A = this chain, B = another copy of it.
């Protein structure tokens, strides 16, 4: 059988839009997603799940109501479920997200930045 590695840079080259996570792998009932972000996202939370951010290229921050964390390539942060957060990036930043399948990027907030779920690359 042929087994094929998932190359993150190759996958990232397949799209250019910001704030629109693409699924590239599944583990049990979790999705692994890639996204390019720039600017400010919306305040939101995920009431049922933690959410993992891993920076692959560039830098970003996650703002919280009572603080913030700065992340650069090779760094990971787990946003606990239910905690309001707002991702921001001054310049384009490439990230990997890990969360249960069906998780909506804007959480309970909704709005025009809500991405289509279930888009694979």
Please list the residues of chain A having a beta carbon within 8 angstroms of any beta carbon in chain B. 1-9, 24-28, 30, 32, 49-52, 56, 62, 64, 66-72, 74-78, 81, 98, 100
Can you list 27 A-B pairs with a CB-CB distance of less than 8 A? A1-B64, A1-B66, A1-B67, A3-B64, A3-B68, A3-B77, A4-B69, A5-B69, A5-B70, A5-B71, A5-B75, A6-B76, A6-B77, A7-B75, A8-B74, A8-B75, A8-B76, A9-B74, A25-B76, A25-B78, A26-B78, A27-B50, A27-B78, A27-B98, A28-B100, A30-B30, A56-B74
Given A28-B49, A30-B30, A50-B27, A6 and B67 touching (CB < 8 A)?
no
